[in-house]
Amino acid sequence: MSKKTLLNSKDIEIILHRLACQLIENHNDFSNTVLIGLQPRGIYLANRLVDLLEKEYQVKNLKIGLLDITFYRDDFRRRDEPLVATATEMNFLVEHKNVVIIDDVLFSGRSIRAALTALESYGRPENIELLVLIDRRFSRHLPIQPNYRGRQVDAINEERVLVTWKETHKKDAVYIETK
């Protein structure tokens, strides 16, 4: 298995600043906006963006939620081993809010579809946007596209995009692995 570095920590830092600025342009003071990181891997990106928005850009009163979509996925019964859910942490409703769903990699679109279904339990948003670090644009099974993307990657199906965060792997990087 070969592994090629697509983004290093400096590249990711630059992308995070760009994404934060795009969010500020579209949501101003975030008074009617909530950010929702998808469990398990989207939460690292969501937390990084919130940290950046608060510390570097002085955005106040951001609302962030962490959403588990395990049992909303269309393939959760097709696995050999039982799935383990993570905690959903949403201490607000999304009723009439602008929601930004945040995930690390957009691949088939099925996780986002599951997130849309899971969000229904928290109200009816005014608007929903999607922010991803990596968009694998030629791998979509559903007509789902990001509003904000860090990098677009033309990886073929046998290639895997792996995002590592310093919180879990001691360094930020994005790799393409080939079998």
The answer to whether residue 130 sits within a structural domain is: yes
Domain for residue 99, yes or no?
yes
Which has the closest alpha carbon to 7: 151, 167, 178, 168?
A: 151
Q: What is the mean pLDDT of residues 161-167?
A: 94
Dihedral angle computed from the Cα positions of residues 79, 131, 68 and 144, in that order, rounded to the nearest 10 degrees: -50
Domain count for the chain, please give it: 1
Judge whether 113 lies within some domain.
Answer: yes
Does residue 95 lie in a domain region? yes
- pTM, entire model: 0.93
Confidence of residue 87 (pLDDT cuts 50, 70, 90): confident
pLDDT tens-place string over residues 88-140:
899 999 999 999 999 999 999 999 999 999 999 999 999 999 999 999 988 88
Dihedrals φ, ψ of 13, to 5°? -60, -45
Q: Answer whether residue 170 is part of any domain.
A: no
E strand residue ranges, 57-170: 63-67, 98-106, 127-136, 148-153, 159-164
The predicted pLDDT at position 51 comes to: 97
The per-residue pLDDT for range 53-80, each reduced to its tens digit, is 999 999 999 999 999 998 787 665 555 6
- Report whether pLDDT(162) > 70: yes
pLDDT in tens, 135-144: 998 888 889 9
Residue 142: CATH number of its domain: 3.40.50.2020
**Residues 56-59: contacts with CB within 8 Å, 24+ apart?**
56/17, 56/20, 57/20, 57/21, 57/24, 59/24, 59/29, 59/30
Instruction: Quote the domain boundaries for residue 46.
Output: 9-73+86-157
Least confident among 26-30, 156-160, 171-175: 156-160
User: So what's the pLDDT on residue 85?
Assistant: 73
Name the strand (E) or helix (H) holding 3: strand 2-7
| pLDDT score of 49 more than 70 | yes
Per-residue pLDDT, 123: 93
Is position 129 within any domain?
yes
